[in-house]
Amino acid sequence: MQAVSGHAIWSSRFAFLMAAIGSAVGLGNIWRFPYLAGANGGGAFILVYILTIIAIALPILITEILLGRMGKASPIMSMRRLISAHGASGLWSIIGWGGTVGAFFVLSFYSVIGGWAIHYVTYAATGVFAGMNGDQAGALFADLTADPATLIAWHTIFMAVTVFIVAGGVKAGIERAVVILMPLLFLLLLGMAIYATTTAGFGEALRFMFDFRFQDIHPSTVLAAIGQGFFSLSVALGAMMTYGAYVDEKESISSSAIIIAIADTSVAILAGIAIFPLVFTYGLEPGSGPGLTFVTLPIAFGTLGSGIIVGIAFFTLLSVAAITSSISLLEPTVAWAEEKFTLSRVKLSILIGFGAWLLGFLTVFSFNHLAGFHPLAGLGLMKDKTFFDIFDFTTSNIVMPSVGFLMAVFAGWVLSSGVVAKALGAEKAVWFPFWRFLIRYVAPLGVISIFVANVLLPG
């Protein structure tokens, strides 16, 4: 393994792809995508989602990996090097800082939700879901979120696993984990999808997901699909830029990004194929919102004859997806700290992970002791939000769109066409002008639409 500016290079393209796909594939695919599709008309939502991936998310994903490989460092240091090399304004460093700080805050609350997933594995394994009705499933989830001690315990376990993997470094830690966890994730998901074909609701689920009706497309459908498509690929949080810094110069960024996008989208659709047949088989509500995973599905698992096995498989799948994303959220800050301080990677990983763990307490208490506390009461959009709501809203609706927009503008307008084409190895590629058009015009406008819809026009 070669060293590059104090960092390592992925030992193989497969390792990079597994790490990048693991970063992209997370709770957003398996937890968020199904309930958004369910609430927004199924097939109409999925079609717009796929178009969004192609026109907005994929061009920005290529850009983020490219900026990381050009800078060969953490997002913060990569942007400093690119600014210096191309005579750009120092203000562009906000791309690196925004992504890194955003990832740290996301990790703090992501770890809490990841802890829920792990805890639900124990529920499934001990037969808690057996014979459970809607009221009981809702009460189970409410009891969990109302108990800060239990939430902290599982948050601690989840964060400890994340820190352990990242502390091992790129090859011994991240690579070793993702080349095991990602194939496991795909096998679990494929197994659940195959099982779903045997259920009575499979045909209805396929019609719901893939029947396309123009009347189902509303402005809210389009905006929800654009938002999910953008966030699904894990862009604009520094993770892909950090992983891009470890990519060998000979590797094709464009083809790798396409593979990542296809894998990420496939997981989201497979998750829908695995989940919706259960929903329709047992007469549950496909648009039941975030509770689809932690409230609605346990009812189905409790009714199935093989519910224990299927429940364990599903929540293990959810936990694995959360872990592969969380390590990519911790890595940008650790990579920056390695450049800045003389402490070992192990110590830095522990210290930074500890900081995110402590910050996660605000999310834990947002569901119980501080559920009625609104720290920014009276401040417009934030007036009714808990700490968790503020972290989630700010990172998802302000930080990520802003960083994504700035990356697109930087690559499309600040860096010259020749510089970018050479860095991509695409001087003669027929796709390059099309990508450049998307990154200069379509992607920025798409990101602005997310920002306007979610921040300026929340109603």
Tell me how many degrees the CA angle 121-122-127 measures, rounded to the nearest 5: 100
Q: What is the pLDDT of residue 306?
A: 67
Confidence of residue 181 (pLDDT cuts 50, 70, 90): very high
Which CATH number does the domain housing residue 432 bear? 1.20.1740
Whether residue 232 is predicted with pLDDT greater than 90 in this model: the reply is: no
Q: How far is CA 209 from CA 24, 35, 204, 217, 380, in A?
A: 22, 12, 9, 14, 37
Residues in Cβ contact with 69 at an 8 Å cutoff, skipping those fewer than 6 apart: 244, 245, 247, 249, 253, 423
3-state secondary structure 412-434: HHHCCHHHHHHHHCCCCCCCHHH
Dihedral, CA of residue 206, residue 307, residue 159 and residue 140, to nearest 10: 100
The tokens describing 75, both together, are 């997002």
Per 3-state DSSP, the chain is made up of helix, strand and coil in percentages (nearest 5) of 80, 0, 20
Strand ranges, E, within 289-343: none
Least confident of 61-70, 161-170, 300-309: 300-309
Q: What is the pLDDT of residue 2?
A: 38
Q: What is the pLDDT of residue 226?
A: 78
Q: What is the pLDDT of residue 133?
A: 86
Q: What is the pLDDT of residue 3?
A: 39
Please state, in angstroms and rounded to a whole number, the distance separating the CA atoms of residues 397 and 400: 7
Please state, in angstroms and rounded to a whole number, the distance separating the CA atoms of residues 346 and 433: 44
Mean pLDDT confidence for 146-173: 97
Whether residue 1 is predicted with pLDDT greater than 60 in this model: the reply is: no
Q: What is the pLDDT of residue 243?
A: 97
Q: What's the mean per-residue pLDDT of the chain?
A: 90
Whether residue 19 is predicted with pLDDT greater than 90 in this model: the reply is: yes
Residue range 267-292, pLDDT digits in tens: 999 999 998 898 888 888 887 766 77
Dihedral, CA of residue 60, residue 62, residue 68 and residue 74, to nearest 10: 50
Q: What is the pLDDT of residue 105?
A: 97
Q: What is the pLDDT of residue 163?
A: 98
How large is the C-alpha radius of gyration of the chain?
21
Q: What phi and psi, each to the nearest 5 degrees, are found at residue 127?
A: 75, 20
Please state, in angstroms and rounded to a whole number, the distance separating the CA atoms of residues 458 and 441: 24
Residue 455 carries which side chain, given as an amino acid letter?
A: V
Give how far the C-alpha of residue 9 lies from the chain's centroid of Cα atoms, to the nearest Å: 23
User: Which helix (H) or strand (E) segment is 248 a member of?
Assistant: none
What is the share, in percent, of the chain residues with pLDDT greater than 70? 96
- Look at the chain and report how many structural domains it folds into: 1
Residues in Cβ contact with 176 at an 8 Å cutoff, skipping those fewer than 6 apart: 168
Residues in Cβ contact with 35 at an 8 Å cutoff, skipping those fewer than 6 apart: 286, 287, 288, 289, 290, 291, 292, 293
Mean pLDDT confidence for 405-419: 96
- Are the beta carbons of 174 and 331 closer than 8 angstroms? yes
- Are the beta carbons of 296 and 281 closer than 8 angstroms? no
The tokens describing 399, both together, are 């930080």
- Are the beta carbons of 294 and 116 closer than 8 angstroms? yes
Whether residue 4 is predicted with pLDDT greater than 70 in this model: the reply is: no
Residue range 349-371, pLDDT digits in tens: 999 999 999 999 999 999 999 99
Whether residue 6 is predicted with pLDDT greater than 60 in this model: the reply is: no
Residue range 63-91, pLDDT digits in tens: 999 999 999 999 999 999 999 999 999 99
Please state, in angstroms and rounded to a whole number, the distance separating the CA atoms of residues 177 and 156: 19
- What letter does residue 304 receive in the DSSP assignment? S
Q: Which domain holds residue 343?
A: 3-456
Mean pLDDT confidence for 316-332: 95
Residue 409 carries which side chain, given as an amino acid letter?
A: V
Region label for 41, one of left (φ > 0), alpha (ψ between -120 and 50) or beta (otherwise) = left
